[in-house]
Structure 1
Amino acid sequence: MTGSALALYEWNLTLSAAFVVPLQVCEVAVRNGVVEAIEMVHGATWPWSNGFLRSLPRPRRSFDYNPEADLRSVAARQPTTGKVVADLKFAFWEQLFTAGQDSRLWNAHLRSSFPGIPASLPVPQARATAHSDLKAIRLLRNRIAHHEPIFSRNIADEYQRIHELIAWRSPVAAAWMDRKQEVTALIPLKP
């Protein structure tokens, strides 16, 4: 391995590690916002609510992620809603931002669960943006978790996407995360 390749590898490694803080804060912020909306409709025991389970998006293909199957599996082995929330996959939260949830959750509860969404952004557009952004964030998270390179990505855009979703839930949490993270300091150090 040449010196420049090793330097790029080391930068990628350090950057990947630095993304843990923003990714963790983002996942917790988003899932807490989603849980808040679900509880407004289905109550605190929503993981065991047949009405909620039946409302979940259906996969198009048998090998696609199935939020209902995931929730049923997790809820069968976890005794509390909090433990279910912590055990669900990131994809579960992403899938709750599909258009099918607009009338069930988001038309009435998106702005209260995510009060930092700009007032000028219509609810369907905000929900669609959240869905798209969560998919991109999940793919970044998976690349990092699988020790794949992220150096060819636009890191500033990746960070901004994460920051924006956190700010939609809580501008205070986004500002706190900004102070704790090291991603932005690493961007200009790319070899």
Structure 2
Amino acid sequence: MSTPQWVDDWLTAGRFAKYVKAAGGDTELALALYEWNSEIAAAFLRDLGHLEVAVRNAYDRALLTHPDIHDGEWLTAPSCTLLFPPHVAKDKNGNPKDKNATPRANVKDARRHSGYDLGVVPRGKAVAELMFGFWSYLTDDLHEKSLWVPALHAAYVPGADRARLHAALSALRDFRNRVAHHESVFDRQPENHRRYIVFVARNLSPDLHQHLTRHSRLPAVLAARPRPPR
């Protein structure tokens, strides 16, 4: 079944090809799969948005208790230098790279862009400027002794597994990036990523977990995959 020209003009043949393949060559079903992918993305962003706000606020509270910060504030340059000291390691090409340079720069940019450095906005504005990629990096192996043990573990329920949380948050970050760039997610194990959201939420707060699962549209959306007519 040939693809209508207006669809190729809209999506391009290359972009639409994976949907046509998944639909067994049925372009009408392929269009339904494309719409289904958009529904998954929208429902996912809703749940992840709630989770991201919870993560950043829980991490912010935990980092404020870190014993090494200056004057009770982790956002300042002196505190960030202590929390994210230079850590040089070779990258995949064998070149030396400071693995903590990015989080230090992230915080610096957040302070500047929010107006926090000028003292004209609440500190929460600077915290909200920090992206999900920043927060997900804080549970990396590199930060187990420097962040997790002295402070960050307090963001989660007792006994939370840092390594499992990091794996879930990293997967969610990559999945979210695909959604942000309007790429396909229906073929990227969306049910597994729904479970990652549930897992992180349950470890953050049983009440948050209950709220998210009660109101999430993801189970219904994922169950509504378009099927070929019989």
TM-score scaled by structure 1? 0.85
Q: Which has the higher contact order (CA 8 A, sep 6+)?
A: 1
2:182 partner SS: coil
Where structure 2 has 5 or more consecutive residues not aligned to the other structure, the ranges are 4-26, 92-96, 117-121
Aligned counterpart for 2:103 among listed residues 67, 77, 89: 67
Asked whether the 8 Å contact 2:201–2:208 carries over to 1, the reply is yes
Q: Tell me what 1:137 maps to.
A: 172
**1:97 to 1:6, Cα distance in 2 relative to 1, 3 A:** same
* Match runs of 1:63-102 below 5 Å: 66-78=102-114, 79=116, 80-102=122-144
Greater Rg by CA: 2
Asked whether the 8 Å contact 1:12–1:151 carries over to 2, the reply is yes
2:73 pairs with 1:45: yes
Q: Tell me what 2:33 maps to.
A: 8
2:219 pairs with 1:184: yes
1:102 Cα deviation from its structure 2 partner: 2.1
Where structure 1 has 5 or more consecutive residues not aligned to the other structure, the ranges are none
Asked whether the 8 Å contact 1:37–1:105 carries over to 2, the reply is no
Tell me the alpha carbon deviations over residues 56-76 of structure 1, each in whole angstroms, 9 at most, x when there is no partner.
2758656x8811111112112
Partner AA of 1:173 in structure 2: L
Aligned equivalents of 2:214, 2:168: Cα separation in 1: 22
1:132 partner SS: helix
Task: Choose between structure 1 and 2: higher helix proportion.
Answer: 1
Partner AA of 1:73 in structure 2: D
2:147 pairs with 1:105: yes
2:192 pairs with 1:157: yes
Aligned equivalents of 1:19, 1:136: Cα separation in 2: 13
Q: Identity of aligned pairs, percent?
A: 31
Aligned counterpart for 2:48 among listed residues 23, 26, 31: 23
Which stretch shows the higher mean deviation, 90-99 or 139-148? Answer: 90-99
1:130 partner SS: helix
1:95 Cα deviation from its structure 2 partner: 1.4
Tell me the alpha carbon deviations over residues 4-50 of structure 1, each in whole angstroms, 9 at most, x when there is no partner.
10010011011111112211111111112211221001365211141
